[in-house]
Structure 1
C-alpha cells in the first residue's frame, strides 16, 4: 500500500509536469494567461506520468535483455533546460516550484537561511540575493499544506511539504526562471532516432553540454559538446561502435530529442526490476514508480 507521504511526492511530480505542459502551451500561444490556472489543474488530473515502451535488440544488454523488454518510461515534457516555474503578480512571488522538503527533519537546523525565508511565507526575493560569478542568484519560496510545528520538524512526514526553486537573473530587476536539467548523466533515456525520425532508441546518457569528448583513436580531435547537446551510448560493451548505433556513429544528439527516462524493465514474467539510473533521478522517480508500476499490466503487453 502506498503511504500518504509517497502520494504527496507523487502529486508534487504531477504538478511539476502539469505546469511544464501548461507553460509550453502558453509559450506557443495556445492558451492565454487567464487560462493557465485551469490548464494546470486539467493536466494534473488527467493521465499518468509513465507509459509502456517495447524495446528490442542487444544494444542495451544486460540492462535490457538481448531478446527485448517491456519498459516503463517516465514522460519528460522537455529534457533540455526548461522553465519549471514562472512569476506572477509583481514578480516578487513564485507560484510554482520544484524541490521538496518533508517535515521529517529540523529545517531550522538543517538550513537556517531557508528556514528564515519559509517562516516569512511571502518573503521579498530581493532580500535573498547572492552574487556568484558576476550573476545574481536568489531563492523564492511558497509554503503550503504545512501543519503547526512542521517547520521545526515536529510534525509527521505526512503533515505537509514545502516546494522551493532557485532563480537566476542578470540583476534583481530582470528576473528569469533558472534553467534546470530533467535528465542526468547515467540515466537510461528514450531518444528520437537521429536516422529515423519516426523511431526511438533507448540509450544511456553519457555526457551533456560542456563535456569534453576524447576518442581512444589518437587521430580524432577532442571536442566539447555545445549547448543543448548530449552524448548517448549503448550499454553492451561487446558491440562495435557501428553495431551499437549510438553517438559514436551519429554524433551528438539534441537534448530536446529525449522524451523519457526508463524506470523499470520487464524481460520475462519472472525477470524484471528497476533500471539503474543516476542516483538523483532514481530518488526523484521513486514515488512515481511506487504509484504507477503495474507488473501484471507490463506482462500483458510483453511481446516476447
Structure 2
C-alpha cells in the first residue's frame, strides 16, 4: 500500500489573488533552480512547450467550470505557466514494483499529464493511480494493456474478455510474488484511465541508488525535458527522509 503524494507543487486553479508560495518560487524556470542550468536550450524549449500545454488544459477546465473572463483566464494561464511545476514527489511503499523500485520505500518524481488517454500514456509506462479500493491512496504499477486489448488468462477456467473504452490493465513487476499477492489488475480487475494521475519518471531508492524509471520509448523521450529542468535529487532525498 502506498501513501498519497508527499509533495505536490500545485498549479493555480483560482483567480489572480492566489498566493505565490516559497515552493512555487522554487519552480521558476532555469535561473531559480540550480539544476536547470544544466538543461540544454532544446530541452528548455521542449519543457516550456509541455508546460504551456499543461497550463492551457488546466486553465480551460477551470474556465469551463467557472466561466472566467478573458482577463481572468489569461491570468490563470500565466500563473500556471511561470509558477507551477508539472511534476511532484510521491512516496511508494511496498515490494510489488521491485526491482524498478525499492522493496521497502522509494521516492518518485511523477510527471503530471495534461490529459489521460492513449495520446499520453503507453503500454510499458509506470503509472500512478488511485487505489481502486482506497481512493485516498495512490499506487504505482506497470501499464500492460489499453482499451480494445483482448485479455486471455493462463487459467483455462477464465473467459477471455476485451478491455472497454477508457479501461486499462496494470501489473506489478516483482516476479517473486504470486499473482494473488501482487495487488494489481489480476486481483482488482481493470482500472479507469481517469484514475491515473501521472507517470513515474525518476526513482530514488536510497541516497546512492537512484535513476530514471524505464518507461515506453515514446514516454521517455517526452519526459526527458521535464527531467532535465525539474529533477532535483537533493529534493528527492529530503522527501525520502521526511516520508
Q: Normalising by structure 2, what TM-score?
A: 0.80
Deviation of 1:34 after TM superposition, in Å, equals 5.9
Relative to 1, partners in 2 of residues 1:199 and 1:42: Cα closer, same or farther, differing over 3 Å?
Answer: same
Measure, in 2, the Cα distance between the counterparts of 1:296 and 1:69: 14
RMSD: 1.5
Measure, in 2, the Cα distance between the counterparts of 1:6 and 1:269: 26
Measure, in 1, the Cα distance between the counterparts of 2:158 and 2:66: 45
Measure, in 2, the Cα distance between the counterparts of 1:18 and 1:29: 16
Measure, in 2, the Cα distance between the counterparts of 1:224 and 1:35: 44
Q: Does 2:78 align with 1:41?
A: yes
Task: Name the residue aligned to 1:289.
Answer: 227
Contact 1:204 1:235 in 2 (8 A): yes
Which of the pair is proportionally richer in helix?
Answer: 2
Q: Does 2:119 align with 1:181?
A: yes
Deviation of 1:35 after TM superposition, in Å, equals 3.8
Secondary structure at 1:301 match in 2: helix
Task: Name the residue aligned to 1:70.
Answer: 107
Structure 1: give runs of 5+ residues left out of the alignment: 81-179
Deviation of 1:32 after TM superposition, in Å, equals 4.4
Measure, in 1, the Cα distance between the counterparts of 2:49 and 2:160: 41
Contact 2:53 2:114 in 1 (8 A): no
Q: Does 2:129 align with 1:191?
A: yes
Contact 1:52 1:72 in 2 (8 A): yes
Structure 2: give runs of 5+ residues left out of the alignment: 1-37
What do the CA deviations read for 1:52-96 (whole angstroms, capped 9, x no partner)?
Answer: 11111110000001022110111124313xxxxxxxxxxxxxxxx
Relative to 1, partners in 2 of residues 1:269 and 1:225: Cα closer, same or farther, differing over 3 Å?
Answer: same
Measure, in 2, the Cα distance between the counterparts of 1:300 and 1:34: 39
Which has the higher relative contact order, 1 or 2, with Cα contacts under 8 A spaced 6 or more apart?
2
Question: Segments of 4+ in structure 1 off by > 4 A?
Answer: none
Measure, in 2, the Cα distance between the counterparts of 1:62 and 1:226: 31
Contact 2:110 2:200 in 1 (8 A): yes
Measure, in 2, the Cα distance between the counterparts of 1:188 and 1:207: 12
Q: Which residue among 215, 231, 234 is the counterpart of 2:153?
A: 215
Larger Rg: 1
Task: Name the residue aligned to 1:31.
Answer: 68
Task: Name the residue aligned to 1:139.
Answer: none
Relative to 1, partners in 2 of residues 1:30 and 1:203: Cα closer, same or farther, differing over 3 Å?
Answer: farther
Q: How does 1:1-304 map to 2 (within 5 A)?
A: 1-32=38-69, 35-80=72-117, 181-303=119-241
What do the CA deviations read for 1:132-173 (whole angstroms, capped 9, x no partner)?
Answer: xxxxxxxxxxxxxxxxxxxxxxxxxxxxxxxxxxxxxxxxxx
Measure, in 2, the Cα distance between the counterparts of 1:193 and 1:221: 25
Aligned length: 205
Deviation of 1:302 after TM superposition, in Å, equals 1.1
Measure, in 2, the Cα distance between the counterparts of 1:199 and 1:212: 29
Task: Name the residue aligned to 2:14.
Answer: none
Contact 1:78 1:259 in 2 (8 A): no
What do the CA deviations read for 1:223-251 (whole angstroms, capped 9, x no partner)?
Answer: 11000111110011221122110000110
